[in-house]
Amino acid sequence: MNDTTPDIRIRPGGPADVPAVLDMLDSAVAWMNARGNTEQWGTTPYSLVPGGVERVQRYTTENSPYVAELDGVPVGALVLDSGPSPKMPIAPAAEPERYVRLLICDRRYAGLGIGAALLVRAAEETKRAGVELLRVDCWAGGTGELVAYYERNGFTRTDRFLSGAWPGQVLARRL
């Protein structure tokens, strides 16, 4: 067993990171589908979903993107916004908030703490902005392992919702 922690570097992201983020999203869809999960993100590679490329481009220009790197190679990404997507049936908070709009990690580096490191950075950036509430939403289907992941990273369940037939869970973390 290798119990050394790799040096994960997190930097601000930008438009040049769009191809790497799309690659991570595409590989995540393939990984989920190989495990029998076709409900969370469907079966079409994210880069081929109508509006998918444009969404990632907007994330890198209109929001606050962060990219995790190992040895200069992008291995994860997180996007912070000031609230939930207006396309989701989620009410904005009654106070200033930061909202994780995307958290993705390269599946080849699973288990190295990349997602957790990105969530720590999100909390730091939220506090730096003088905001005390960090929220995220995620797929609440299957065995609930994604919800449990966020709980292990300091978030607490708040509201459940449905986006069509897609079950979701909003989670919050006070800072």
Say if CB 42 and CB 67 are below 8 A apart. Answer: no
Pairing between β-strand 9-12 and β-strand 64-70 as defined by DSSP bridges = antiparallel
Band (pLDDT 50/70/90 cuts) for residue 5 is low
pTM above 0.85, yes or no: yes
- Go through 75-88 and write b for each residue having 16 or more CB atoms within 10 A of its CB, e for each that does not: bbbbbbbeebeeee
Band (pLDDT 50/70/90 cuts) for residue 2 is very low
Q: Which two tokens stand for residue 35?
A: 């495990």
Residue located via tokens 């396309």: 87
φ, ψ for residue 16, nearest 5 deg? -65, -15
Say if CB 95 and CB 132 are below 8 A apart. Answer: yes
Percentage with pLDDT > 70 across the chain:
97
